[in-house]
Structure 1
């Protein structure tokens, strides 16, 4: 017998290990499962990319500008007679020979669409509260109602009031923001504001000022 005959005999022998029949259905199921997983992974990656793009765009977007209202500075009207405050009398902390400068509201003739009160600047003296400068009555809707020039050498350079829940008032001069001192008169839901004496030179001669009002949580309020 030749070597070729031996090889043919070996090839003709049955295999030592029996192989099971191929499970075609199972193979197809596993293939479909893998394809679904690949598609889901690709979709998830796409969502992550889109979220990143949106968040990045929001971070890069410049903050919305706060609307500023420009108010005219009006001249105060001299006030004479006994003071009759409505609600709280607000102490400014400013002292002069006449006493402590105060701000308060008092009744005045109501006009059409106007409030029946006005803001008054005066002094707290040993004899009581005096009324010296008045802003005049203003419309009763929420917002700023007065920006009035005081007597910078004697009391305050500017004062006024805001109807609504304002806790912070600012004015802009030369690109800089100046904060006003404030006091609440809850009876009229109003915030009285005034600028300190140290700012007299800043506001001296100003005829208009950009103003802003903010709530206790820092939100800009209607003007």
Structure 2
């Protein structure tokens, strides 16, 4: 509104307002707002979780308060008509390989873990991410936490990123501490406060060298950082 008032004062002539100049200023203002909205949308979509869609909106011309003069023109193209933003839709989760049932239940829902494809242009050797999700009785999958490497390769030997529950307040669906290991792991043991906690393991159906693991929430409170973690092969040797 301040921009419009400045335009009207600056372009007032003896024979009235310079309508063409006011319209040009209005178009420049709309362009600047669209550019600003585009930058904000780009920042928002940098950290996108699986199952969350970003919806872009197209801002229309600013509304005028009652009693404010409106510049009109008898000729020239009509101003663009604002269009409604599309309704948000849920991105379908596309598990790669078998969905692993942890045996943990939240009412009728089951805590599950599964791999999904990811595409990070600057990390061409990172193509999969591990999801801690829930499966409803009808088979519908919900994602609670996506975990993926932020450097190197997703198939390098050893431990990869480990996921901790990010909720500050207790919830009815806490995410167990989880992750994956690449190698012939038969046991994975974490240490916290001087005690050892053993993880449950499941081999990924698409690559048996990829071992998904998680800790029972009753043995390790979700969100509790581990002091250390080791993996051992079937002969008990440390990997």
Which TM bucket (shorter chain)?
0.5 to 0.7
Q: Distance in 2 between matches of 1:77 and 1:170?
A: 31
Highest CA radius of gyration, 1 or 2?
A: 1
Q: Whole-Å Cα distance in 1 between the matches of residues 100 and 205 of structure 2?
A: 11
Deviation at 1:77, TM superposition (A): 7.3
Deviations 1:25-62 (A, max 9, x none): xxxxxxxxxxxxxxxxxxxxxxxxxxxxxxxxxxxxxx
Higher relative contact order (CA 8 A, sep 6+): 1
Contact 1:157 1:199 in 2 (8 A): no
1:166 aligned onto 2:175: no
Q: Distance in 2 between matches of 1:97 and 1:142?
A: 37
- The answer to whether structure 1 residue 89 and structure 2 residue 99 are counterparts is yes
Q: Does 1:79 align with 2:50?
A: yes
Check whether the contact 1:116–1:137 (CA below 8 A) recurs between aligned residues. no
Bigger strand fraction: 1
1:146 to 157, 161, 170: 161
Higher helix share: 1
The yes-or-no answer on 1:191 pairing with 2:206 is: no
Return the offset for 1:78: 4.0
Q: Which runs of 5+ in 1 are unaligned?
A: 1-75
Superposed structure 1 runs of 4+ greater than 3 Å apart: 110-114
Deviations 1:146-170 (A, max 9, x none): 2111367414431111112212111
What TM-score results when the alignment is normalised by the length of structure 2?
Answer: 0.54
| Separation of aligned partners in 1, 2:234 and 2:178 | 20
> TM-score, structure 1 length as denominator?
0.57
For residues 127-180 of structure 1, what are the alpha-carbon distances to aligned partners after superposition, in whole Å with 9 as ceiling and x for unaligned? 433323101235331111121113674144311111122121111112221101
